[in-house]
A and B are shown apart, each in its own frame.
Chain A
Amino acid sequence: MSRIQHSKKKQSIPGFGLTMGLSTLYLSLLVLIPLSLVFIYSARLGWTAFWNDVTDPRVVASYKLSFLTAFSAALVNLVFGLLFAWVLSRYTFPLKRIVDGLVDLPFALPTAVAGITLTTLYSEKGWIGKWLPFDVSFTPIGITLALIFVGLPFVVRMVQPVLQNFEHEVEEASASLGATPFQTFRRVIFPQLLPAALSGFSLAFARSLGEYGSVVFIAGNMPFKTEIAPLMIMTKLEQFDYPAATAIAVVMLVISFALILLINLIQWWSRIRYASH
Chain B
Amino acid sequence: MESTVQPNLPGQAFTARHSLKGDIVRWSLITIVLLFFFSFLIIPLVSIFFEAFRQGVRVYLSSIVEADALSAIRLTLFVTLIVVPINAVFGILFAWVITKYSFRGKNFLITLIDLPFSVSPVIGGLIFILLFGQHSSLGQWLISHNINIVFNVPGIVLATLFVTFPFISRELIPLMQSQGTVSEEASIMLGASAWQTFIHVTLPNIKWALFYGIILCNARSIGEFGAVSVVSGHIRGMTNTMPLQIENLYNEYQFVAAFAIASIMSLLAILTMVIKVILENFIKKQTL
Contacts and interface: CB of A to CB of B under 8 A. Distances in A.
A212 B126 CA distance: 13
A13 B97 CA distance: 10
B197 A259 contact: no
Given A87-B30, A95-B34, A120-B255, A105 B41 contact: yes
A91 interface: yes
A237 B52 CA distance: 33
A168 B197 contact: no
A13 B185 contact: yes
A35 B126 CA distance: 9
B288 to A, nearest CB: 13
B55 to A, nearest CB: 15
Given A101-B276, A116-B258, A148-B40, A27 B97 contact: no
Interface of B, secondary structure class, is helix
Interface of A, secondary structure class, is helix
Nearest to A176: B4
Contacts of B33: 80, 83-84, 87-88, 99
A253 B269 CA distance: 29
B262 A212 contact: no
Contacts of A74: none
A29 B103 CA distance: 22
A256 B243 contact: no
Q: How large is the interface on B (under 10, 10 to 19, 20 to 34, 35 or more residues)?
A: 35 or more
B172 to A, nearest CB: 13
Contacts of A253: 119, 123
B97 A234 contact: no
A56 to B, nearest CB: 17
B223 interface: yes
Contacts of A210: 118-123, 226
Contacts of B118: 203, 206-207, 210, 256-257, 259-260
Nearest to B96: A19
B122 A234 contact: yes
A168 B184 CA distance: 36
Contact of B44 (A12, A35, A117, A207): A117
Contacts of A105: 41, 45, 269-270, 273
Nearest to B271: A108
B43 A121 contact: yes
Contacts of B243: 110-113, 213
A128 interface: yes
Interface string B93-136: 11011001111000101011111111111110011111101010
18 contacts: A13-B181, A13-B197, A23-B94, A24-B109, A27-B94, A30-B162, A31-B115, A32-B112, A84-B37, A91-B30, A97-B277, A108-B269, A108-B276, A110-B225, A111-B225, A176-B4, A212-B121, A230-B226
For the complex of A and B, the 4 pairs showing the least CB-CB separation, nearest first, are: A210-B120, A110-B223, A213-B225, A212-B226
